[in-house]
Amino acid sequence: MSTIILGIESSCDDTSAAVIEDCILRSNVIASQKVHEAYGGVVPELASRAHQQNIVPVVSEAIRQAGIDKSQINAIAFTRGPGLPGSLHVGTAFAKGLALALGIPLVDVNHLHGHTLSHFIKEDEHTQVPGFPYLCLLISGGNSQIIKVNAPGDMQVLGQTIDDAAGEAFDKCAKSMGLPYPGGPIIDRLAHEGNPNHFKFAHPHVDGYNYSFSGLKTSFLYTLRDQLKLNPNFVEENKADLAAGLQKTIIEILMDKFSKAIADTGIKTIAIGGGVSANSGVREAVQQYADRHHLKAFIPKRSFTTDNAAMIAVAGYFKYLDHQYCDITLPPFARVTI
Ligand code: KG4
């Protein structure tokens, strides 16, 4: 008999619900919140209010699109953290209420495990999934980590950022160019038309497999500040080259440590996940590295790189099989690591 999991994700500014049947995706509904665009970043209070408005229609639509009756759901998996407290509370409270009403188990999921296990979302029974262990480069607005995934519930962080995340480097540098939030996807688009070697930015010197992006951010800001003194139209005239140079430097920083970890561990299966793994340059660099070194690379579909409930349902599926249910009294965790 198959196992049907309803996943609920509300950690930041996307309300999402998904239904999977033994990891095969039956529905994945995402309501993105446009309300934050005017503020240049996510406003926590507005995010939790929008989640409250969205959660019932989003969950109903996910169940409808999956073509199931709610009595067929075996368990509910929800994002317990990390994330914005007010946002997490909405998904957590809703998941608890529905699990109680249906009399089914509740499974709490670490959002970062969701990104790392997003490669197990199957479009159909032929979708290939990674074997264990694999090395995952998890890059998002809040995290930059190299994770050794030994099993769905056994993950080891080999390296992580000591300051900003890769997504923050994209977004903060984009903001200093006057681009709207989130700047990452805009930099990606602009970089296609620019010369990546016109401007040079700082590379960090950090121990082990750890990352640092604050030096790059400062070096980018100083370039703008110095050049704007000479030419007030500097940014406008050099947008594409600045974007291409910034993206190239971020990719070099990411690949430098990721390739060291791959070589040192000898692991032959690699993966990327998180919002920044949507970046076309990052995807190309990882695939090219894998081809050169005869590795198997798992690059997620773009729709599974950003926050989505399908990855939460899949991570919850593995815990459900292991009977790792959670207590109805558990609070959400704003800060939690892998
Ligand atoms: O994983 P995510 O949706 O949110 C977090 O949980 O942090 O990642 C959002 C981050 C933002 O920093 C956004 O700028 C970045 O992912 N991002 C990109 C691209 N698409 C999203 N960065 C670079 N290139 C992209 N194409």
275 CA to centre of ligand 1 in angstroms: 3
4-127+304-321 to CATH, choices 3.10.450.50, 3.40.50.300, 3.30.420.40, 3.40.50.150: 3.30.420.40
* Spatial separation of the C-alpha atoms in residues 258 and 205, rounded to whole Å: 14
Model pLDDT, residue 204: 95
Annotated binding site for substrate: 138-142, 171, 184, 188, 279
**Is there a shared CATH topology between the 4-127+304-321 domain and the 134-299 domain?**
yes
- CB-based contacts of 330, cutoff 8 Å, min separation 6: 80, 92, 108
For ligand 1, the distance from its centroid to the CA atom of residue 141, given in whole angstroms, is 5
Q: Report how far ligand 1's centroid is from the alpha carbon of 185 (Å).
A: 7
Token digits of residue 159: 């390296």
Q: Characterise 211 by phi-psi region: left (phi > 0), alpha (psi -120 to 50), beta (else).
A: beta
HSE-up of 335 (CA within 13 Å, CB side)? 0
**12 touches ligand 1 (CB under 6 Å):** yes
Structure confidence at residue 181 (pLDDT): 87
Residue 76 to residue 93: CA distance in whole angstroms: 12
pLDDT at 142: 87
In whole angstroms, what is the distance from residue 238 CA to residue 179 CA?
13
Residues at the annotated binding site for Fe cation?
Answer: 111, 115, 307
**pTM metric for this prediction:** 0.95
Sorted by sequence, the CB contacts under 8 Å of residue 129 that are 6+ apart come out as: 23, 119, 120, 122, 298
DSSP code, position 266: T
Separation between Cα atoms, residue 244 and residue 117, nearest integer Å: 30
Q: What is the pLDDT of residue 53?
A: 97
| Euclidean distance between CA atoms 31 and 57, whole angstroms | 9
- Tell how far the Cα of 24 is from the centroid of ligand 1, in angstroms: 25
- Looking at domain 134-299, which CATH architecture does it have? 2-Layer Sandwich (3.30)
pLDDT at 308: 97
Q: Is the CB of 215 under 6 A from ligand 1?
A: no
Q: Mutation test of ligand 1: which of 30, 109, 164, 170 has the most ligand atoms closer than 8 Å to its C-beta?
A: 170
Residue 273 CB less than 6 A away from ligand 1: no
- DSSP characters over 227-249: HHHH-TTHHHHHHHHHHHHHHHH
Q: What is the mean pLDDT of each run of 10 residues along the chain (338 residues)?
A: 96 96 98 84 92 98 98 98 96 98 98 97 96 98 95 97 96 95 96 98 96 97 97 98 98 98 98 98 98 98 96 98 95 87
Question: Which atom of ligand 1 is nearest the CA belonging to 305?
Answer: 1
> pLDDT at position 258, please?
98
* Whether 203 contacts 253, CB under 8 Å: yes
pLDDT the model gives residue 40: 76
- Domain borders along the chain are 4-127+304-321, 134-299
Question: What does the alpha-carbon distance between residue 180 and residue 177 come to, in Å, rounded to a whole number?
Answer: 9
